[in-house]
Amino acid sequence: MIQRRLLIALAAVLANAPALAQEKPTPPGQPYVSHTPPEARRAYFGELHLHTEMSFDAWTFGTKVTPDQAYKFARGETVMVPAVQVQREQGMNGQADVPAKRAWPLDFAAVTDHSEYLGAVAQLDVPGSAFSKSQLGRQLQAGGRRAFYTAAAAIVEGENNEATPDLKQAAAAADGWNVEMRAANANYAPGVFTTFVAYEWTATPGHGVHMHRNVIFNSDTAPTPFTAVESNKPEDLWAYLDGVRKQGIDVLAIPHNSNFSDGRDFDWNMSDGKPIDAQYAAQRALNEPLVEIAQTKGQSETTPELSPTDEFADFEIMDHVYAGETKATRHGGYVREALGRGLVVASGVGANPFKMGFVGAADIHNGLSVSDENGYAGGVSGLDPSTMTPSGDTARAALDMNGQSKVIRPNGQRENDPLQYSSAAITGVWAEENTRNAIFAALKRKETFATTGTRIRVRMFGGWSYPSALLKDRNWVAKAYTTGVAMGGDLPQPPKGAKAPSFVIEAMKDPSGANLDRIQVIKVWLEGKTYKEKVFDVALSGKRKVNAKTGKAPAVGNTVDLSTGAYTNTIGATMLSTVWRDPEFDPGKPAVYYARVLEIPTPRWSTLLALKTHLPVPDRVAATIQERAWTSPIWFTP
C-alpha cells in the first residue's frame, strides 16, 4: 500500500513537470518568489562537482561514463559502466559492462566537467575521428599519467604548447558544451530531480597549485565557458560572469580544494599582488557566495596548525599540493581562517571578500557520484560496492600496500598518498521545492550546509530575541525566520537592551546512518587588527557535560568492531537541538558563527575496503572517523 501511494505521488509530480519546466529562470538581480512560506522549506541533498569522460583528466584515468549516464546514476537509476572503465579503475577483468546503482538517490546534481578542451580527448573513442589519427591522439591513447600531463600542460601553457592546435580542433568536433547542456536538460524533472548546466574553470597559476572554480548557471542554456586557457585570474572569470548576467542568466562560482591552493585562495592580496581593495572584495562576494569545504581530496575547514585548540581539527587532511614532496602553505588555504581574514579586510576596506556559505561535493572523476564510505575505494572514482569493489593489486594500491605514495610520476613528482583521499561530501540546501529556481535561490542566499557524505539534516538561525524554550513551540521554525535570520544571513543591529545574540540549531541523524555525538558552534571574531576563534560544545548526546576547567566534553565512545566494520547506535542521539546564547559577546567586535555537527565514530573507507578484501587495516590513518556537517555562517557587523 505504501509503495502504491508513493507511485501515485510520483506520477502526480511527473504529470506536473511540464508546467514547472516552463517556469522562467529568475533573472539576475531579482528575488526568487515562491508561494511556499520559508518555514515550509525542506532539506534537499545534491552534488555540485562531478566529472565524466568529457573531462581531459577523467578520460586519461579510464572514464567512459557520459554526462547523461552521470545524471541518471545520481538520480538513482542503474547505469551500465563500460567494461574498459572498471578494468582501468577497479582492476576488474570481465568483458561485460557492469551495472551500478547509487545507494540512495540525490535530489539535484551538476556535472562540472573541465571546460578546457571540453570533450577533446573523448574524441579518441570516435572511430575514424581526425584526432584519433593525429600523432597527439595516438600518444594520448596510451593513457596513464603521461597522457594526463600532456593534456594538463596544454592547459597551463595555452598557445605556447604544441598540442594546443590539435586539442582545439578535437574540442570543436566534440561540441562538448552542447553535449553538457543537452544532458542537463534531458534529465531535469522538476519536483523530482534538478540538474544544473555547469562546468569547472581549471585555473592552475603555479606548479601543482589549484585555484579551480565550479560555475553554476540558473538556466537551460549558457554562453560558451570561459576557460583557464584564456586566463587563470579569478578577476577575469568574474568579468565573464558579469557579462553572463547582462545576458539575463544568473550564475555563481564556487571555489574548491582551497587546501590545494598553496595559500592563494584566501590570500591577503589580489592576483596582481596588491592588497585587496573594496572593488575586489565586493566583486568576489557577489560572484563567489559559496565555498566547497570538503570533498575526496580532503577537507578545507581547518587544521591543527591553524586551529590548535580545536580537538577535532585533525580530520581528513590532504596536506600537500601536486607540486611534489613539500607540504602546501596552509595559511590562506582553509575556510575558517578565510572567515577571520574576511573580517580583517572588511574593517579596512568596508567589504568582506570571504563572506561565503558552505557546500560539499565529490569531485569524483568517473561519473559515479557516491557519498557513502563503502561506495569509495580511494582516488577519484566512485563505485557500487555490490558490483565494483576492487580486489587484488588494485585494492592493495588503494591501501598503499605497494608503496604507491613513493612512486615517482613521469614528470618527476612524487605520487599522492592514496590513504589521504577521503570519501565524497555532499551539499544540503533548504528550499521551497526541488526546482532550479528554488535550489539556486537557496545557494545564492547561502541557506546551505555541507556534510562529509551522510544525510545529517541541520539548520541554524540567529537572532536577538529567541527565548530559551523556543524549540518547544510547534511553530518554532516560523518564529525563527520571522524574528531572526537563517544561516547564510547577517544579524540585524541589536535592539535596545539586547545583550547578546542567540542561535537556534537543530540536527537530525542520517535516516540510515549513525547517531549524533554533538553540536558545536565555531565563533571567529575581530580582535584589533587580527582575529581569534573559539569552539563551543553547545549540545551533547547522553548525559555528558562540558568540563568547567578544561572547556572540553567527554568523548562519546566508540562502538566500531574493527574485525567486522560493524557499529551500533547504542550511543549518541538521533536528534540534537539547542538555543545557545554567546556568553562572550562584545557588541563592538565583528563576528561570524557557524555550527558543526559530529556523528559517533564509524569505519573509514580504508577500513571497510581492507576488511572486505581480507587485507590488513592500515595503521597510519584513522580506522574510524566522525562524519560531520557544517552549516553556512551567520555574520554580525557592528
- The helix (run of H) or strand (run of E) holding residue 530 is strand 530-540
Q: Round the CA-based radius of gyration of the chain to a whole number and report it.
A: 24
The pLDDT score that the predictor gives to residue 136 is: 86
Q: How far is 425 from 162, CA to CA, in rounded Å?
A: 38
One-letter amino acid of 615: L
Q: In what order do the strands lie in the sheet with 298-299?
A: 298-299, 290-295, 357-360
SS3 420: helix
* Low-confidence winner among 128-132, 214-218, 481-485 (lowest mean pLDDT): 128-132
DSSP 248-296: T-EEEEEE--GGGTTT-TT-SB-TTSSBP-HHHHHHHHHH--EEEEEET
- The helix (run of H) or strand (run of E) holding residue 98 is strand 98-100
One-letter amino acid of 156: V
48, 370, 65: which is closest to 195 by C-alpha? 48
Name which residue leads in pLDDT, 218 or 17. 218
Strand partners for 530:
527
Same domain, 390 and 491: no
Q: How far is 200 from 49, CA to CA, in rounded Å?
A: 8
C-beta separation of 330 from 420 below 8 A? no
* pLDDT tens, position by position, 241-281: 999 999 999 999 999 999 999 899 999 999 999 999 999 99
The pLDDT score that the predictor gives to residue 207 is: 67
Given a cut of 70, whether residue 569 has pLDDT beyond it is yes
Which of 426, 445, 475 is the last residue before a domain boundary? Answer: 426
The pLDDT score that the predictor gives to residue 8 is: 36
Kindly state the percentage of the chain with pLDDT values over 90.
Answer: 83
Given a cut of 50, whether residue 18 has pLDDT beyond it is no
* pLDDT tens, position by position, 363-381: 999 999 999 999 999 998 9
One-letter amino acid of 444: K
Does 9 fall in a domain?
no
Given a cut of 90, whether residue 140 has pLDDT beyond it is no
Same domain, 416 and 478: no
Same domain, 378 and 315: yes
Same domain, 348 and 491: no
Kindly state the percentage of the chain with pLDDT values over 70.
Answer: 93
The pLDDT score that the predictor gives to residue 145 is: 63
Same domain, 463 and 371: no
Same domain, 164 and 247: yes
Same domain, 498 and 600: yes
Does 8 fall in a domain?
no
pLDDT band (50, 70, 90) for residue 21? very low
Q: How far is 589 from 604, CA to CA, in rounded Å?
A: 40
Which of 381, 404, 426 is the last residue before a domain boundary? Answer: 426
Same domain, 499 and 388: no
Same domain, 324 and 252: yes
* pLDDT tens, position by position, 494-532: 999 899 999 999 999 999 999 999 999 999 999 999 999
Strand partners for 565:
none
- The helix (run of H) or strand (run of E) holding residue 505 is strand 502-508
Q: How far is 77 from 70, CA to CA, in rounded Å?
A: 10
The pLDDT score that the predictor gives to residue 177 is: 98
Strand partners for 211:
none
Same domain, 385 and 252: yes
Does 439 fall in a domain?
no
Q: What angle do CA 86, 97, 80 make, to 5 degrees?
A: 95
The pLDDT score that the predictor gives to residue 181 is: 98
Interacting residues of 194 by C-beta distance below 8 A, sequence separation 6+: 44, 46, 107, 108, 109, 188, 434, 435, 436, 439
Same domain, 374 and 473: no
Which of 405, 426, 447 is the last residue before a domain boundary? Answer: 426
Does 11 fall in a domain?
no
- The helix (run of H) or strand (run of E) holding residue 539 is strand 530-540
Strands 357-360 and 290-295: parallel
Domain housing 346: 44-426
| Helices then strands, each counted (H, E), the chain | 16, 24
Does 102 fall in a domain?
yes
Given a cut of 90, whether residue 428 has pLDDT beyond it is yes
Same domain, 224 and 147: yes
pLDDT band (50, 70, 90) for residue 437? very high
Does 86 fall in a domain?
yes
C-beta separation of 295 from 422 below 8 A? yes
On the CB side of 16, CA atoms within 13 Å amount to 12
392, 592, 582: which is closest to 502 by C-alpha? 582
Q: How far is 441 from 252, CA to CA, in rounded Å?
A: 11
Does 122 fall in a domain?
yes
Average pLDDT over residues 307-326: 81
pLDDT band (50, 70, 90) for residue 203? very high
* pLDDT tens, position by position, 104-117: 999 999 999 999 99
pLDDT band (50, 70, 90) for residue 94? confident
Q: How far is 465 from 485, CA to CA, in rounded Å?
A: 12
Does 48 fall in a domain?
yes
One-letter amino acid of 524: V
Mean of the per-residue pLDDT values for the chain?
92
Can you give the length of the chain in residues?
638
On the CB side of 103, CA atoms within 13 Å amount to 18
532, 590, 528: which is closest to 309 by C-alpha? 532
- How many structural domains comprise the chain? 2
- 10 Å CB burial of residue 135 (0-12, 13-18, 19+) is exposed
